[in-house]
Amino acid sequence: MPRGTVAMERLHYNGRDYRLERRPPVRDQALRAWDAADEYLLAELPAPAGRTLLVNDAFGALAVALCDRRPVLWSDSHLARLALRDNLARNGLSPDAVAFVPADEAPAGPFDVVAAKFPKSLAFWEDMLLRLRPLLHDGSQVLAGGMIKHTPARAYRLMETILGETRTSLGRKKARLAVARLDPDRALPDRLADTEYPLPGTDLTLRNGPNVFAREHLDVGTRCLLAHLPAAAGELRAADLGCGNGAVSLALAARNPRAEILGVDESYQAVACARANAERAGLDPARVAFAVGDGLEDTAADSLDLVVVNPPFHQAQALGDVVAWSMFMHARRTLCDGGRLLVVGNRHLGYGAKLARLFGNCRTLATEPKFVVLEAVRRFGEGADML
């Protein structure tokens, strides 16, 4: 990560400046904790009148600015929850000013005003709209915003299909809004069905919810990684960091019958899905457990033999290695002396150099046209210990 000052610009709203930071923190001054779509939403929201629901507020920018309304934030991101907590404290606001509801649950309606950010996944957007509609009444107004280049036309059509008549705004600073009013007579489409596919090398079937990574089929990177998972009869303390639907955790459990495995993800829906997949596989939750979290922050230092990571190379719509670097740091802290980190990633991302700097070593286990599988070994006194 480049050196410099952590980005913490100020969002101006309603006569006040708010200090906001992303989670994980970044040193790239171009990456703020809000974008032009957040500013557009704040400018166009109707005056406070009843209850306000915020959807997909990535770092709590909307929630902090609107905290006087006592809004509810509905999100699938645990990092968003932590960013909200930190940004409320950063601005001297009560931690109880905004209620947080994870996306695998439903907030208690009805709501008069909804301000949403378009998510990256259209399947997730469709699912959220279908679950949102029963929380509205005849006079409810729904505003959704996003950067134009990241918002496909289908995102607006889904609002029209599920909620009612939807109009789009003119562009402003490369952002656009859509405004919908509930049509109570419009027939509600069927809920989005889960998808299923087999887990290679096992007789297990993975079931996938709307906001689960690789919802339609096992991604190529994970498929490459599976071929390099260890298989041992002895004890193994392992973590699957960014576990998604639990594919890697379940494959590890099948190959290592005495392993204790923890799968962690920031997505509430992903963790719920992974737990359900493990239950269908008949795995003991005391041996194979899943948790929502910010990496391995709740895992003891020097306690793991193996960490496996298929890191994302984006956060929301921003590309970069901020999340991956944070994962590598968590892995290094929690691995014991001689513990191994296995990483799969796109070849062009240059993870090998980052791991060599952090661990003092890195070797390539496999290369594919687009992906590379890497191994770094934690050795006390090497790598970042010497920086």
| Closest C-alpha among 143, 251, 146 to residue 201 | 251
Domains of the chain: 10-181 (3.40.50.150), 195-386 (3.40.50.150)
**In the structure encoding, which two tokens stand for residue 243, read together?**
């576990």
Mean pLDDT by 10 residues, the chain (387 residues): 49 95 76 94 90 97 97 97 97 97 96 96 96 94 96 96 96 97 88 92 93 92 94 92 96 96 97 97 96 95 97 59 89 97 91 94 93 96 69
Euclidean distance between CA atoms 103 and 58, whole angstroms? 13
Query: Against a cut of 0.85, is the pTM above it?
Result: yes
> Please, are residues 6 and 24 in contact by the beta-carbon 8 Å criterion?
no
Looking at residue 3, its pLDDT comes to 35
The per-residue pLDDT for 320 is: 53
Structure tokens at 364: 């390539």
Locate all alpha helices (DSSP H) within 133-282, ordered by sequence. 153-162, 220-226, 247-255, 268-280
How much is the pLDDT for 8? Answer: 55
pLDDT the model gives residue 304 = 98
